[in-house]
Amino acid sequence: MRRRFTVPLVAVALSLPLTLVTAASATAAPADKPQVLSSWTQTSASSHNAWNAARGNQGAWSAYGFDWSTDYCSSSPDNPFGFPFQNSCARHDFGYRNYKAAGTFSANKARVDSAFHEDLKRVCAGYSGAKKTSCNSTAWTYYQAVSIFGVSPAEADAGNLPRAA
């Protein structure tokens, strides 16, 4: 006796890999994701402005799968002494989280940290006199903290935390 479902089962079994490949392709991030990420993590004001515009319209970038989450300035104040550093910290988190997810954190960390410092200095540029000096000093302290303590898990495992301390 011949089985009725032999041909349909074979057809389904052969089409399954094609379906999986098609589904995987449909969810893959656009090929220019690394370039977009790089363009949003540069030290320039235009890079910051482009990232900030995209952050305000995250839905338009959903295909890229960026991690927009942030804890802002982590355990440090978001607005130390009244200086609004929160947005700068959010962009810094964006760079760290997305480069870590891409597996290219170590190659980009110094630039993301420098972009953070430039963002903080742009905040400070809105002040004058002693208040500007105080803001720049605070910005330098925040930058030094991420420069020294903002390490990837692999770097921490390599013993860099005792050096930083």
Centre a 10 Å sphere on the Cβ of residue 2 and count the other Cβ atoms it contains.
5
- Tell me which of 92, 117, 135, 151 is the catalytic residue: 92
Distance separating alpha carbons of residues 84 and 77, to the nearest angstrom: 10
Please give the full DSSP string across 1-13, using - where no structure is assigned.
---SSHHHHHHHH
CB 86 within 8 A of CB 72: yes
Written as six digits, the tokens of 31 are 């090929």
Contact assessment for residue 64 and residue 94, using Cβ atoms and an 8 Å cutoff: no
Q: Tell me if residue 92 is catalytic.
A: yes
d(CA 102, CA 67): 11
Determine how many CB atoms are found less than 10 A away from the CB of residue 19: 10
Task: List active site positions.
Answer: 92
